[in-house]
Chain A
């Protein structure tokens, strides 16, 4: 009981904050190098990502875990920030819908990435 007698409800933020934090770490340490490789150096022909090598990497269980981590966590990170940025921009309508929308998107991307990796 607080001094004012107001009751406080436990927020479910810890779940999303945890995923946001994990994504923030991946996006800070790994994503810059990945963007440099897949988005710049490979398209410019400096580095190669041939099908056989990448397929071999994604067939390995450790490779699968790494790929899932670098795809799914940053997505949670991004969706969490965008959801909160909407409030910062004073877009507060249909808060419940947008919460479901953004975190749902991160969830779908995670499941899709997991399913693709299992399929390889």
Chain B
């Protein structure tokens, strides 16, 4: 190996001609500040223009460039070649999602789940714009702020074996977003979301593997949101026995 070059193995899958994905090896010039997407850009511009992969912002906020790097879910923009000098690099599409083409994962199911939990502020009382904004104290913001930092990159789904085993499970990011809205002092939509929380597909599909929180590039800690969801669901379970909730 040339000292200034580095080998990168990339997953390829071309649906119109391949029956299954395979690995292809490329040599890219090495630099200390070179990220995985820089390496993929080099391959696409200089070695093989047919390589497909998603990326956009290059600064860990768009959530587009999630890949498996040596079997670990990572953002391509904040993962650098320099950290893999001894191990080599293998880039694959995000685990637990169907492979659309090369490194492009089909995350449609994840996006549907995000919508399913009603990720917006729901009010039971109609408030006029003339009444002014809904005020919130810094202490009320602290209750959910961490959970609002999610960029929907899907790394937690690629990390979650329960989602891999059964994709009926709502999964880490969707349940965390659900918790984020339930914890928002401006929101009154808990009753519209509790059925999802209580279900097998909801928090009870989680066995607290905890890898979602480990791989999250934004420090959101989905495992804690789901764990708190289990406490809330348990409380709701007991309350429903004592005082049945009216059907909504």
Could you tell me which A residues sit within 8 Å of B by CB distance?
1-4, 6-11, 13-15, 17-18, 84, 87-88, 90
Q: A2-B116, A2-B195, A10-B199 are in contact. Are A17 and B248 (CB under 8 A)?
A: no
State which residues 192-248 of B face A: CB under 8 Å: 192, 195-196, 198-202, 204, 207, 230, 233-234, 237-238, 240, 248
Contact (Cβ within 8 A) A14 B237: yes
Q: Is the CB of A87 within 8 A of B165?
A: yes
Q: Please classify the interface of chain B as helix (H, G, I), strand (E, B), loop, or mixed, using the class held by over half of its residues.
A: helix
What is the CB-to-nearest-CB distance from A42 to chain B, in angstroms, rounded to a whole number?
A: 34
- 20 more A-B contacts (CB under 8 A) besides A14-B233, A14-B237, A17-B234? A3-B115, A3-B116, A4-B115, A7-B195, A8-B198, A8-B201, A9-B200, A10-B198, A10-B237, A10-B240, A11-B198, A11-B199, A11-B200, A13-B204, A13-B233, A14-B234, A18-B234, A84-B207, A88-B161, A88-B207
B210 nearest CB across to chain A (Å): 14
Kindly state whether residue B7 has any CB partner on chain A within 8 Å.
Answer: no
Task: Report the minimum CB–CB distance from B237 to chain A (whole Å).
Answer: 4
What are 8 sample pairs from A and B whose C-beta atoms fall under 8 A apart?
A2-B118, A8-B195, A8-B198, A13-B233, A14-B238, A17-B204, A18-B234, A87-B165
Q: Are B161 and A4 in contact (CB under 8 A)?
A: no
Taking each of B112, B118, B204, which has the highest tally of chain A beta carbons within 10 Å of its own beta carbon?
B204
A9 CA to B199 CA in the complex, in Å? Answer: 5
Q: Which residues of B contact A1 (CB under 8 A)?
A: 192, 248
Cα separation A8 to B201 with both chains bound (whole Å)? 8
B112 contact from A4, A9, A13, A18, Cβ within 8 A: A4
Min Cβ gap A119→B in Å is: 33
A11 to B240, CA, bound (A): 13
Chain A residues whose CB sits within 8 angstroms of the CB of B166 once the complex forms = 87
Interface residues on B, range: 20 to 34
Nearest B residue to A18, CB-CB: B234
Do A88 and B165 touch across chains, with their CB atoms under 8 A apart?
yes
Instruction: Write out the residue numbers on chain A whose beta carbons fall within 8 Å of the beta carbon of B230.
Output: 14, 17
Alpha-carbon distance A18/B166, docked complex (angstroms): 24
Chain A positions within 8 Å of B201 at CB level: 8
**Nearest A residue (CB) for B170:** A8
Q: When A and B form their complex, which 9 residue pairs have the shortest distance between CB atoms, in order from nearest? A: A8-B199, A14-B237, A13-B204, A14-B234, A11-B204, A8-B195, A11-B200, A10-B198, A3-B116
Nearest CB of B to A98, in Å: 15
Question: For residue A14, which residues in chain B have a CB less than 8 angstroms away from its CB?
Answer: 230, 233-234, 237-238
Residue from the list A8, A18, A90 in contact with B196, Cβ < 8 A: A8
Given the complex, which residues of B lie within 8 Å of A9, measured CB to CB? Answer: 199-200
Determine how close the nearest CB of chain B comes to the CB of A80; give it in whole angstroms: 10
Asked if B207 and A8 make an inter-chain contact with CB atoms under 8 angstroms apart, the answer reads: no
A8 to B200 CA separation, bound complex (whole angstroms): 8
Q: Could you tell me the distance between the alpha carbons of A2 and B116 in the complex, rounded to whole angstroms?
A: 6
The residues of A that contact B165 with a CB separation of less than 8 Å are 87-88, 90
Q: Which of chain A's residues has its CB closest to B201's CB? A: A8
On chain A, the residues within 8 Å of B116 by CB distance are 2-4, 6
- Bound complex: CA of A19 vs CA of B237, how far in Å? 14
Q: Which chain A positions have C-beta within 8 A of B248?
A: 1
CA A17 to CA B112, docked complex, whole Å: 28
